[in-house]
Chains A and B, each alone.
Chain A
Amino acid sequence: MNKDRRKFLKMATATVAAATILPSVSEASLEHCEEDFDNAFGVLVDTTVCIGCRNCELACDRQNELTDHPKSYFMDNTVFDSRRRPSVESYTVVNSSFDSSSTDNKSFGKIQCMHCNHPACVSACIVGALTKCKHGVVSYDAWKCIGCRYCMVACPFQIPAYEYKEALKPRVMKCTFCYDLIHNDKKPACVESCPVEALTFGKRGDLIKHAHVKIEAAPNNYYDHVFGENEIGGTSWMYLANKDFINYDLPKLEEEKIPSLTESIQHGIFKSFLPPLALYGFLGLVMHSIRQDKKKEEENDEQS
């Protein structure tokens, strides 16, 4: 090992050391300021109250001008024979709960975009076409969208649907939380249409309190859990039920926010560009020093 090599190795170790220390310093500044989710809007769905009338589906359809199905379409009860998913034709669908053993005790639940506090779809979107506003709404800007459908891969509730049939301007389709209505102090169309108040619209913080009061008042009537209070860091839409939430197509989820892992990997590798730059510098040094060595060898060869 000659002198140059040793000098180079020293420098190389220094760069690597710098690369590992510096990002951890800059990390502190990356902390997101926690948003105020208590004051964001939300909806509490009480599946024990829902009667499966599908009025919300109709209201949603009309509000968002999704189809021109006649009213009778939304009164057809045979849809409950299968389990439907939200689609480009319906931002929300009502399904009956799984246990069909007792026909008279059927319960229902509607599903739609949950407007997550820490939405995986927003974190995934390559161009920021999906955004979460401070009122809690996760909304979509078709103009920016490139149609990669990574948001659909990311969403843990399998909500976004895609207009595959559109050849030129396909859109990602999902519940809009009636953005325009609620920004004008109105309720979302589905909530407004519900005849039995299975849906309660309000500030998310108040809804959580309200839900727990409901459970306490009738502990035999409810499963002791508010779905969406803590799941994946909380969602704007929350559910009450008297049996496991999987019966209403709500998956079992941990409290860990979905994007936190990818975002920390991402920021670890990328933010402040130090690790890539360090690798660049390191490889540059290797290349240079070996070239120098080679040159010297050649000179020596020539002399001898």
Chain B
Amino acid sequence: MTNSHEVPTPINVKYFSKGAIVLSFLTLIGLCGYIYRLIVGLDASTNLNNQFPWGIWIAIDVASGVALAAGGFTTALLADVFHKDKYHSLTRPALLTAMLGYTFVVVGLLADLGRYYNVWHPMIPSMWQGNSVLFEVGLCVMIYLNVLYCEFLPILIEKFMGHVNLPGILSRYNSLVESLLRISNRTLYRVLSLFIIAGVVLSCLHQSSLGTLMVIAPYKMHPLWYTPILPLLFLLSAISVGFPMVIFESILSAWSFKLKPETKTLASIAKYTPFLLFCYLSIKLGDLAIRNAFGYLTEINIQSVAFVLEIGIGVILPMVLLFQKSKRHSIKYLFISACCIIFGILVNRINVFLIAYTPPFSNDFYFPSLIEVIVTVGLISGLILIYRFMVIHLPVISVQRVKFNIVTDTPKSKATIKG
């Protein structure tokens, strides 16, 4: 029991590492691109056209963003709902990723909307459109984002409770704020499980509905991807990428913050992944077989290559790797498999929303413009930067693990890390 008493702590490192500087640069460029888009409109900033109305902002920023934020609800499901306590150390980083991920999905979506200032319209009951899949996705994402913020609140409260120290004349409210924090902390802890379950349900709903989106375009979708079970495939793949995403991040932050990676916990959580991938793969291939669509793989074109890439590197390779216990216990292979799976999901979402989208009457072709690319890159960089900022200042990452140099001489002592 004792070794699970690790506490999430702020990490004490310098913010601006070399990587962070590069990322800040990319974020800045992306921000300029974003502002440029808002000023000049979609035509000057993107390569979208009447035949290809959706581009990488939808396929990557929104669809892949939502899928890759699935670590949040899958980890919560495992650790909080199923009470697998040993994974508790992973829930906060996963929650933070999900929260930031979804926030950036919304930011990315705003760039793509022609009338971004109307983004609140779907929330007005008189404009509800229950037949629209997009409406369901939009509403679920909106609610889920708020649920995520509520789930994250305790972490903020934990940071400030007991240290409220307002500047200047505001300091007379210190004790008031303090007691407010205490009250909200207590109520939040009581209702937190309600939020956690709500998060899981909402995630299942919109992860699958994102797949339903393209079901409305049967005559425009390539048969390798068009199937009525797209929602099921989207849900399964989102669940499959949840833990790999957590592993990926955990290893990356261990590396970036010079912490000892939690090999044991990660190896243990990775054991579910090959089974999930196997389910996903068999349903996906079974569906292809039922629809008699395997023939399309014999044609050599961008679609068949993209499909093989998606399945071969994104699903089969990591599945084979992770089925082997020895590979699961190696940080290197864990990282490689996680990267493959994330790559697979990314390619899958791009495939479904862009590569599979082949409208019959098209003179034009879509390839992302420079602005589209820099905005997407900028958003991802910005997300990582905020993540870094938050784990440095808030109790997110559990540090039972100690700094590399200490661990060798005092393997058993618990590290004391200042908050």
Closest partner residue, chain B, to A173 (CB atom): B50
Asked if B220 is at the interface (CB within 8 A of a chain A CB), the reply is: yes
The complex places the Cα of A88 from the Cα of B319 at a distance, in Å, of: 48
Asked if A261 is at the interface (CB within 8 A of a chain B CB), the reply is: yes
Given known A165-B43, A167-B40, A258-B216, contact A287–B51 (CB-CB < 8 A)? no
Interface contact B129-A145, CB-CB below 8 Å: no
The residue that A170 contacts in the complex, of B115, B193, B360, with Cβ under 8 A, is B115
The complex places the Cα of A207 from the Cα of B363 at a distance, in Å, of: 33
The complex places the Cα of A126 from the Cα of B209 at a distance, in Å, of: 13
Asked if B331 is at the interface (CB within 8 A of a chain A CB), the reply is: no
The count of chain A contact residues (Cβ–Cβ below 8 Å) is 58
Q: Which residues of A contact B40 (CB under 8 A)?
A: 167
Asked if B318 is at the interface (CB within 8 A of a chain A CB), the reply is: no
Asked if A80 is at the interface (CB within 8 A of a chain B CB), the reply is: no
Interface contact B82-A152, CB-CB below 8 Å: no
The residue that B219 contacts in the complex, of A251, A279, A283, A291, with Cβ under 8 A, is A251
Q: Which residues of B contact A283 (CB under 8 A)?
A: 77, 81, 197, 200-201
The residue that A164 contacts in the complex, of B42, B119, B205, with Cβ under 8 A, is B42
User: Which of B130, B204, B205, B361 is packed against the most chain A CB atoms within 10 Å?
Assistant: B361
Interface contact B114-A261, CB-CB below 8 Å: no
The B interface is mostly helix, strand or loop, or mixed, namely helix
Which of B88-96, B133-141, B374-382 binds A? B133-141
Interface contact B363-A83, CB-CB below 8 Å: yes
Interface contact B115-A147, CB-CB below 8 Å: yes
Closest partner residue, chain B, to A156 (CB atom): B219
The complex places the Cα of A128 from the Cα of B208 at a distance, in Å, of: 22
Interface contact A286-B81, CB-CB below 8 Å: yes
Interface contact B212-A126, CB-CB below 8 Å: no
Closest partner residue, chain A, to B82 (CB atom): A290
Asked if B292 is at the interface (CB within 8 A of a chain A CB), the reply is: no
The residue that B129 contacts in the complex, of A127, A267, A276, with Cβ under 8 A, is A127
Q: Which residues of B contact A123 (CB under 8 A)?
A: 131-132, 216
Interface contact A158-B359, CB-CB below 8 Å: yes
Closest 6 pairs (CB-CB, A-B): A147-B114, A167-B41, A164-B43, A149-B53, A152-B53, A147-B115
Given A124-B216, A266-B209, A280-B198, 15 additional A-B pairs, CB 8 A: A85-B363, A124-B134, A127-B118, A145-B114, A147-B115, A149-B53, A153-B53, A170-B41, A253-B219, A270-B205, A271-B130, A279-B200, A284-B193, A287-B82, A290-B83
28 pairs from A and B in contact (CB 8 Å cutoff)? A83-B363, A85-B51, A124-B134, A127-B118, A128-B127, A145-B114, A146-B113, A146-B114, A147-B116, A152-B53, A153-B53, A153-B216, A156-B220, A158-B362, A161-B50, A165-B41, A166-B114, A169-B115, A170-B114, A262-B212, A266-B212, A270-B136, A279-B200, A283-B77, A284-B193, A287-B83, A287-B196, A290-B83
